[in-house]
């Protein structure tokens, strides 16, 4: 990425001496050099604070849970790839393949290790925070950039279904990287090789994002295409805009050509196209509902949706009103180093309080999740209003450098947040970078109004409070999704004997369960036998080194097509796997109104066929109940082996 040179490339705040120093003043004397050095020192400290607090948050729970219902998915994909199997041709994949290749590379270098994969993704999360601080500091004061980034990175990692190893994280990293590169483009300069290189690189990042998660990649590609076109046409006209758009498309085509060429060489290109553009979307349900539910159906039912809509409208009017009424007069001075010291101290205290609340209080911090959810919806409607507001400005007049940065921030944030909502209407990854952008811009624009100090302090306090809330939630319940819940980290004192899980701790009961289930699968199947684990626990395929007879590894309700589920039901009946492990499923996920427009899902047919097969051909070998998961896990063995 470009070296940090905010003093030259964009409006730079002097923290009270003047509102902004614009490019081209010619002030490169000793005083300007000192200010530049001091600003870089302040920005470096802000980055250290955000990265340090985020790292403290993540390391407090990173290896104190198992999370098998998600943790094993890409680990198994990578194992299959390294064994010579080809995604889409030999096994079904719910998303585009880049994250499989990245995971396979890590496994090739370090061996199959859940701990290593999590550590790599923790590094990604720290990088996200650093990039957001640097970018926000182009248009807001450094303390506000730090506060916004802290809130965003915390809520990003707060979802209880987040196993830390996530393709959502990978996609967000490349989306943010692509947008951040454009923040260094000099839009008003017609012929500049550096501009073309930045735009081309941005297109490549968007392409990698698309081949990590197609919805988010498609959204960020559209957003940045519009930004490149809009700013280029406004400043220079149509012909230079076309040249820049061609550079963006050329950059996008480079990773695409490499990945699609590999798939074509393996005979998997047609299967890839069907899986990504036909099968996957068909499992989501009504396109109209998926595209609009975050706007109108955030509560999930009426009349609660009425209150939700009112909340959304109030957020939009608030954010747009603050931005529109922001004074252009120089605001009062902001003591940067003192404010950063306060942020560091308050953030550390918030994390300690959250850790104590989550680790030692014997009941769930229920209000935490409500505040996190509210912050996610606030960030969505906030960046939506910002994107609309600055787009309207572009259609009416030329933009200042600060307005260009703000429009780029708002467009990238909105499309990342919006496309994430297609997976689920409210969850942690939607908050990044949207929540940080809204908080930082509100604090900056409110600073010019002396009578808003109480409001500004409230926003800053909420940003810090979110650190405490997110910490409490994750250390009390580090993982929970679909019939699997890991207990509080205070109980994670034991480890499994499985090499893949070295460095991962869990409760003694859970560690014994992991080893017992792995042994049961081993003892009642041979190397070439298939086993079937229902419904979403792919980690045991890796632990036991056994593979399912189905084309799909897991049958996610919202992405696995009904026809594929029914065909896989036939495969199970025909293959009769040596062992079937029944984790049952979370009844809350059987929401056919949400994902099937009221039609019966293929997963129900698969489940019915599986239970019929069990009744006639299998015996119950074990039924194990875990304290955190009240439904027993049942292990069935094919009767023919008796």
Residues 512-553: pLDDT tens digits? 999 999 999 999 999 999 999 988 889 999 999 999 999 998
Burial (Cβ within 10 Å: 0-12, 13-18, ≥19) of residue 6: buried
What is the DSSP pairing of strand 531-534 with strand 579-582? parallel
Average pLDDT over the chain, rounded to whole? Answer: 89
Give pLDDT, residue 75: 92
Residues 44-68: pLDDT tens digits? 999 999 999 999 999 999 999 999 8
Contact 416, 172 (CB under 8 A): yes
Confidence tier at 642 by pLDDT (50, 70, 90): very low
- pLDDT at position 285 over 50: yes
479 strand-pairing partners: 486
Contact 268, 80 (CB under 8 A): no
Residue 224 neighbours by CB distance under 10 Å? 26
Instruction: Please give the biggest Cα pair distance in the chain.
Output: 88
Strands (E), 124-273: none
Share of the chain above pLDDT 90, in %: 72
**3 state DSSP class of 603:** helix
- pLDDT at position 184 over 80: yes
Q: How far is 508 from 630, CA to CA, in rounded Å?
A: 17
pTM of the model: 0.92
C-beta contacts of 294-298 below 8 A and 24+ residues apart: 294/380, 294/418, 294/421, 294/425, 294/426, 297/425, 298/377, 298/425, 298/426
Give pLDDT, residue 55: 98
Give pLDDT, residue 375: 95
Residues 338-361: pLDDT tens digits? 999 999 999 999 999 999 998 887
Contact 113, 502 (CB under 8 A): yes
- Return the closest-CA partner of residue 558 out of 536, 533, 580: 536
Give the single-character DSSP code of 451.
Answer: G
- Return the closest-CA partner of residue 411 out of 607, 635, 608, 230: 230
Give pLDDT, residue 103: 96
Which carries the bigger pLDDT value, residue 30 or residue 440? 440
Tokens of 314: 């109030």
Mean pLDDT of 269-294: 84
Residues 132-180: pLDDT tens digits? 999 999 999 999 999 999 999 999 999 988 999 989 999 999 999 999 9
Which carries the bigger pLDDT value, residue 629 or residue 336? 336
Confidence tier at 369 by pLDDT (50, 70, 90): low
Asked, as a colleague might, if the bond just before 535 is cis with ω within 30 of 0, I would say yes
Contact 297, 309 (CB under 8 A): no
Mean pLDDT of 180-201: 93
- Return the closest-CA partner of residue 25 out of 11, 37, 43: 11
Strands (E), 364-412: none
Give pLDDT, residue 521: 97
Helical packing angle, 98-110 and 73-82, nearest 10°:
70
Q: How far is 583 from 387, CA to CA, in rounded Å?
A: 44
Residues 402-418: pLDDT tens digits? 999 999 999 999 999 99
- What Cα–Cα distance (Å) separates residue 543 from each residue in 170, 493, 539? 24, 20, 6
- pLDDT at position 311 over 80: yes
- pLDDT at position 330 over 70: no
Give the strands of the sheet with 618-626, arranged side by side: 531-534, 579-582, 629-638, 618-626
- CA of residue 343 relative to chain centroid, distance: 25
- pLDDT at position 17 over 50: no
Mean pLDDT of 270-299: 84
- Cα angle 77-82-85, degrees, rounded to a multiple of 5: 70
DSSP 187-205: TT-SS-HHHHHHHHHHHHH
Mean pLDDT of 224-242: 95
Number of H helices, E strands in the chain: 25, 8
Element containing residue 222 per DSSP (H, E): helix 214-236
- Return the closest-CA partner of residue 281 out of 86, 552, 95, 428: 95
Among 223-232, 425-434, 583-592, which is the least confidently predicted range?
583-592
- pLDDT at position 5 over 50: no
Give the single-character DSSP code of 452.
Answer: G
Contact 220, 208 (CB under 8 A): no
- Return the closest-CA partner of residue 357 out of 469, 274, 267, 195: 469
- What Cα–Cα distance (Å) separates residue 105 from each residue in 74, 86, 96, 102? 12, 15, 16, 5
Give pLDDT, residue 31: 75
Q: How far is 341 from 347, CA to CA, in rounded Å?
A: 10
Helical packing angle, 434-446 and 401-421, nearest 10°:
140
Q: How far is 633 from 626, CA to CA, in rounded Å?
A: 8
Confidence tier at 325 by pLDDT (50, 70, 90): confident
Which carries the bigger pLDDT value, residue 134 or residue 290? 134
- pLDDT at position 125 over 90: yes
**Percentages of the chain per state (helix, strand, coil), in multiples of 5:** 65, 5, 30
379: left (phi over 0), alpha (psi -120 to 50) or beta: alpha
Q: How far is 200 from 256, CA to CA, in rounded Å?
A: 13
Q: How far is 347 from 57, CA to CA, in rounded Å?
A: 10
Residues 495-517: pLDDT tens digits? 999 999 999 999 999 999 999 99
Residues 456-484: pLDDT tens digits? 999 999 999 999 999 999 999 999 887 78
Mean pLDDT of 297-305: 87
Give the single-character DSSP code of 92.
Answer: B
> Which spans in 477-597 are helix H?
508-523, 539-544, 562-575, 592-595
Residues 86-120: pLDDT tens digits? 999 999 988 999 999 999 999 999 999 999 999 99
Share of the chain above pLDDT 70, in %: 90
**3 state DSSP class of 25:** coil
Q: How far is 524 from 638, CA to CA, in rounded Å?
A: 9
Give pLDDT, residue 26: 46
C-beta contacts of 332-335 below 8 A and 24+ residues apart: 332/16, 332/447, 332/450, 333/15, 333/16, 333/17, 334/15, 334/16, 334/141, 334/143, 334/447, 335/15
Tokens of 596: 């099937």
Give pLDDT, residue 591: 62
């Amino acid at each position: 990425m470009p070296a940090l040179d905010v003093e030259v490339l964009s409006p730079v705040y002097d923290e009270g001496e003047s509102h902004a120093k614009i490019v081209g003043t010619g002030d490169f004397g000793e005083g300007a050099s000192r200010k530049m050095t001091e600003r870089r020192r302040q920005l470096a400290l802000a980055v250290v604070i955000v990265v340090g607090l985020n790292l403290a948050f993540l390391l407090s729970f990173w290896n104190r849970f198992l999370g098998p219902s998600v943790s094993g998915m890409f680990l198994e994909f990578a194992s299959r790839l390294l064994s010579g199997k080809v995604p889409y041709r030999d096994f079904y994949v719910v998303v585009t393949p880049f994250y499989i290749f990245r995971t396979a590379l890590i496994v090739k270098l370090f061996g199959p290790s859940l701990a290593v994969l999590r550590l790599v993704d923790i590094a990604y999360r720290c990088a996200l925070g650093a990039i957001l601080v640097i970018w926000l500091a182009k248009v807001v004061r450094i303390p506000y950039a730090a506060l916004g980034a802290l809130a965003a990175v915390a809520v990003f990692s707060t979802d209880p279904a987040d196993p830390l190893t996530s393709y959502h994280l990978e996609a967000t990293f490349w989306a943010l990287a692509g947008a951040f590169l454009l923040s260094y483009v000099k839009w008003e300069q017609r012929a500049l090789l550096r501009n073309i290189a930045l735009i081309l690189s941005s297109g490549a990042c968007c392409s990698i994002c698309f081949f990590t998660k197609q919805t988010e990649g498609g959204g960020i590609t559209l957003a940045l295409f519009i930004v490149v076109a809009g700013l280029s046409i406004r400043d220079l006209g149509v012909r230079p805009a076309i040249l820049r758009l061609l550079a963006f498309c050329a950059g996008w085509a480079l990773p695409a050509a490499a990945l699609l060429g590999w798939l074509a060489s393996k005979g998997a290109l047609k299967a890839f196209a069907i899986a990504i553009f036909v099968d996957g979307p068909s499992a989501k349900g009504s396109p109209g509902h998926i595209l609009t539910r975050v706007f109108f159906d955030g509560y999930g039912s009426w009349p609660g949706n009425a209150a939700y809509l009112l909340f959304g409208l109030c957020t939009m009017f608030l954010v747009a009103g603050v931005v529109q009424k922001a004074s252009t007069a120089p605001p009062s001075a902001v003591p940067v180093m003192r404010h950063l010291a306060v942020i560091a101290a308050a953030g550390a205290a918030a994390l300690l309080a959250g850790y104590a609340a989550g680790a030692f209080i014997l009941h769930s911090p229920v209000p935490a999740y409500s505040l996190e959810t509210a912050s996610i919806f606030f960030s969505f409607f906030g960046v939506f209003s910002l994107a609309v507001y600055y787009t309207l400005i572009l259609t009416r007049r030329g933009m200042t450098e600060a307005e260009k940065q703000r429009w780029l921030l708002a467009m990238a944030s909105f499309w990342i947040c919006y496309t994430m909502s297609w997976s689920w209407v409210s969850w942690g990854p939607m908050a990044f970078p949207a929540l940080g952008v809204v908080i930082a811009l509100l604090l900056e624009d409110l600073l010019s109004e002396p009578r808003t100090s109480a409001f500004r302090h409230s926003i800053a306090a909420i940003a810090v409070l979110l650190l405490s809330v997110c910490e409490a939630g994750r250390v009390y319940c580090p993982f929970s999704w679909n019939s699997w819940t890991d207990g509080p980290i205070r109980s994670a004192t034991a480890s499994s004997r499985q090499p893949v899980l070295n460095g991962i701790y869990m409760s003694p009961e859970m560690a014994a369960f992991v080893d017992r289930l792995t042994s049961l699968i081993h003892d009642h199947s041979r190397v070439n036998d298939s086993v079937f684990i229902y419904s979403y626990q792919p980690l045991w395929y890796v632990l036991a080194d056994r593979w399912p007879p189905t084309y799909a590894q897991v049958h996610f309700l919202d992405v696995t097509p009904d026809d594929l589920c029914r065909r896989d039901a036939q495969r199970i009946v025909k293959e009769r796997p040596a062992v079937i492990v029944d984790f049952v499923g979370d009844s809350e996920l059987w929401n056919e109104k949400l994902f099937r427009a009221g039609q019966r899902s293929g997963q129900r047919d698969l489940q019915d066929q599986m239970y019929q097969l069990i009744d006639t051909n299998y015996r119950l070998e074990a039924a194990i109940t875990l304290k955190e998961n009240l439904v027993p896990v049942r292990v069935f063995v094919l009767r023919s082996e008796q």
